Amino acid sequence: MNEVNSRTKRLSELLESKDVVRVLEAHNGLTGLIVENTKVHHEDGRETEFDAIWEGSLSDAVSKGKPDISVVDVGMRVQTIQEILDVTSKPMIVDANNGNFPEIFGYTVRTLERLGVSAVSIEDKVDKKRNSLHDDDVAHTQDTIENFCKKIAHGKESQRGKNFMIIARIESLILKQGIDDALTRAEAYIAAGADAILIHSKQKSPDEILEFCARYSKIANRKPLIAVPTIYNSITENELVAAGVSIVIYANHLLRSAYPTMIKTAESILTNGRSLEADEFCMPMPDVLNLVPEPEVK
Ligand code: SPV
Ligand code: MG
């Protein structure tokens, strides 16, 4: 295996070596650099950083001015993925919506694996793609266990090496099908070859996730568990780890934090007929020129 694609196996290595793999969304090269380079020194001497990049369907689509309905197809996603991979070294997890038909998913797996992506996540939904965090009046349809298992199995057969991971994302809690259904699916998806389980929830309280985690931890052949605490975000990483979660994904926060400031800047320029008042929302010019330094040629 060449040096570039040794990135693929870095996610499984992190899962072996760390209590929690901390993942932040990126949707272009610059946000990729934020995930790559941001570090915080804590008062107790610890230093923390993100371990991996989430290339999510929501942030990718919305940053292109399109809704999260799979209108941004795999070809367009690959362009964004390459843009991020070009300037980063951390492992990447790609959110491939429902993965499309198994035959198509197999090709997506091969493309992502070849690019050096570490894992693909597919969700057990069918029909028109809708984001999971919509209000309840937006209709979603869950896939059958049988169909989704076939997709997982075909994906695993399609990958060329042994390191690429397929993450099975369970939407039972989003679709109010209950924890029993979510657990039944987790066991079936693991039996079909899933390398990790992502359990999603859009309740404000973390209670249903914690109940799922408690019951999931009793499954004998369980795989690493992933949580996306976007709505139930009062819970800490430590609490999720104590409940048995191995990967925590912050799925959309760079996009959501950039957008409000950009709107303020645009409004300030219109209000004042000049940009002076927008300075408070903007980086100074010298800083932006040094944001991505030119490489030194020796
Ligand atoms: C995404 O980031 O695109 C996701 C996570 O799929 S969520 O938006 O919570 O569905
Ligand atoms: Mg998505």
Other Cβ atoms within 10 Å of 259 Cβ, number? 12
Closest ligand 1 atom to 121 CA? 6
Cβ(131) to ligand 1 under 6 A?
yes
Set 68, 124, 143, 195: catalytic member: 68
CA distance readout (Å), 217 to 168, 183, 195, 233? 17, 10, 15, 22
- Output b/e per residue, 30-69; b: 16+ Cβ within 10 A: ebbbbbbeeeeeeeeeeeeebbbbbbbbbbbbbbbeeebe
**Atom 10 (ligand 1) nearest CA:** 132
70: Cβ below 6 Å to ligand 1?
no
Q: Does the CB atom of residue 230 touch ligand 1 within 6 A?
A: yes
Residue 255: its pLDDT value, please?
Answer: 98
Q: Among 66, 70, 132, name the best residue to mutate to test ligand 1's pocket (greatest count of ligand atoms within 8 A of Cβ).
A: 132
Whether 167 lines ligand 1, by a CB cut-off of 6 Å, is: no
Question: CA-based angle 197:157:22, to the nearest 5?
Answer: 30
Residues 6 or more apart whose Cβ sits within 8 Å of residue 127: 140, 141
Contact 86, 117 (CB under 8 A): no
Write the residue with the smallest CA distance to atom 2 of ligand 1: 56
- Ligand number nearest CA of 59 is 1
Query: What's the confidence (pLDDT) of residue 4?
Result: 52
What SS3 class is residue 119?
Answer: strand
| 178 Cα to the center of ligand 1, angstroms | 20
- Which atom of ligand 1 is found nearest the CA of 58? 3
* Ligand 1 atom showing the smallest separation from residue 228 Cα: 9
Residue written as tokens 């209670």?
207
> Is 229 close to ligand 1, i.e. is its CB under 6 Å away?
no
pLDDT per residue, tens digit, the chain (298 aa), is 444 578 999 999 999 999 999 999 999 999 999 999 999 999 999 999 999 999 999 999 999 999 999 999 999 999 999 999 999 999 999 999 999 999 999 999 999 999 999 999 999 999 878 888 887 777 789 999 999 999 999 999 999 999 999 999 999 999 999 999 999 999 999 999 999 999 999 999 999 999 999 999 999 999 999 999 999 999 999 999 999 999 999 999 999 999 999 999 999 999 999 999 999 999 999 999 988 989 999 9
Q: Report which bound ligand comes closest to the CA of 132.
A: 1
